[in-house]
Amino acid sequence: MIGLFKVKEKQREQAQNANRGGGAPVKKQSAGELRLHKDISELNLPKSCSISFPNGKDDLMHFEVSIKPDEGYYQNGTFVFSFQVSPVYPHEAPKVKCKTKVYHPNIDLEGNVCLNILREDWKPVLNINTVIYGLYHLFTEPNHEDPLNHDAAAVLRDNPKLFESSVRRAMVGGYVGQTFFPRCIS
């Protein structure tokens, strides 16, 4: 708590100095921005994950995470997720979308992600690191029991070999059924 008071005190001091010097006032950060800044500074990502800020470091509330699984069905693919973080974070889970079209039981063709900690199991004690590890886990252990893409889930459940070949076909850039998937494999 002392650290939070020091941050607020420093912001107040910067705002006063900016007002005296005729410069632009310092934008006050929301509690969500402060918590997100802390979460990002403490990230401990697997080497197969990276984070980027397409709008620059001044916009921490919108960022992207790239995941390159090094095992499983999706090995060597690159999957990009966009994160939108609410000012009331951590009391509300971040909004996460998969920007890479992927044949996956837990990610639909619009990029919606079925991950319990982004919905009913979200708690303020969770953080961005937890979400990224959860997304990574979807690629190492896809779950056919809680699907968004019901066709992919049925194939995974009933014919894992066909599922594996469908994933490979999609990742190299090809059709699975009537749906085309752009190349995402390196």
Q: For 10-36, what is each residue's pLDDT tens digit?
A: 555 555 555 555 555 556 788 889 999
Domain that holds residue 133: 21-181
Parallel, antiparallel, or unpaired for β 62-67 and 179-181? unpaired
What is the percentage of the chain residues whose pLDDT exceeds 70? 85
Q: Is residue 117 a part of any domain in this protein?
A: yes
Question: What is the tens place of the pLDDT at every residue in 149-174?
Answer: 999 999 999 999 999 999 999 999 99
Cα separation, 128 vs 125, whole angstroms: 10
Residue 114 known to be catalytic: yes
Q: Is residue 4 a part of any domain in this protein?
A: no
Q: Is residue 186 a part of any domain in this protein?
A: no
- Predicted confidence at residue 15, as pLDDT, reads 52
Q: Is residue 3 a part of any domain in this protein?
A: no
Number of structural domains, the chain?
Answer: 1
CATH code for position 72: 3.10.110.10
Q: Is residue 160 a part of any domain in this protein?
A: yes
Cα separation, 110 vs 160, whole angstroms: 24
Q: Is residue 81 a part of any domain in this protein?
A: yes
- Predicted confidence at residue 12, as pLDDT, reads 56
